[in-house]
Amino acid sequence: MVLITNARCYSTTDIFAAGFQDHGIGKVLGVDNNTGAGGANVWTHQLLLQLLAGVTPVPLAQLPRNSGMRVAIRRTLRVGRQAGTELEDLGVVPDAEHKMTRRDILEGNLDLIEAAAAMVAGLPRFTLDATATKVGGNLRVNVTTANVQRLDFELNGRPQRSDDVTDGSRTVDLPTALAHGKLTLRGYRGVELAAARRVTF
């Protein structure tokens, strides 16, 4: 996957872009060299005065001439390789940058879409498909994988098994007394999560 961002990505979109990049979901392609760098709750001076009403002595005074100010509270922190870095005031730097062209502006982002497609074409492809059916006291799982080296099975949030796998199809039987539930499969390439699937039965 490729996520396209620009400098107008603030707040929730900034946090989404940071999570996308930090968790290695895909590459970030920026129309600008940074997102808007808004990753916090913003409180106004007036709200702070209301929240501090009744506190003695009052730690804040009214600002002159009806002026105002805002303060960033609960600042979002990055994870992964950027663990501990604040998102507020720093934003997300894209993995690659695409400057808007005349074709982008006049013809529906054609060059931008081509740039994103070129990034996707250069990324590794992973397959993890699965179906699950009850057979007697087992849950029979038919799995097809590609470019995945390890497959972890989790049933209703509990680990069941972990198998080294090669490309292709296989059938795995998981003993369970459950008539219904949720099976989660996670495929790894090395130590990196490459693909995941959730199957209900």
Per-residue pLDDT at 156 = 95
| The model's pTM | 0.66
Fold of 2-40+75-121: 2-enoyl-CoA Hydratase; Chain A, domain 1 (3.90.226)
Number of Cβ within a 10 Å radius of residue 64: 6
As annotated, the residues of the chain forming the CATH 3.90.226.10 domain(s) are 2-40+75-121
Q: Which of 111, 85, 66, 71 is nearest to 18 (CA)?
A: 85
Per-residue pLDDT at 115 = 97
Per-residue pLDDT at 192 = 87
As annotated, the residues of the chain forming the CATH 2.60.40.10 domain(s) are 127-200
Q: Which CATH class is domain 127-200?
A: mainly beta
Please list, residue by residue across 10-38, b when 16 or more beta carbons sit within 10 angstroms of its beta carbon and e when fewer do. Answer: ebebbbebbbbbbeeeebbbbbbebbbbb
Dist CA 97 CA 77 (whole Å): 23
pLDDT in tens, the chain (201 residues): 899 999 999 889 999 999 999 998 889 999 999 999 988 888 899 998 888 888 888 788 888 988 888 888 888 899 998 999 999 889 999 999 999 999 999 999 999 999 999 999 988 889 999 999 999 999 999 999 999 999 999 999 999 999 999 999 999 999 999 889 999 999 999 998 899 999 999
Q: Which of 76, 71, 41, 77 is nearest to 59 (CA)?
A: 71
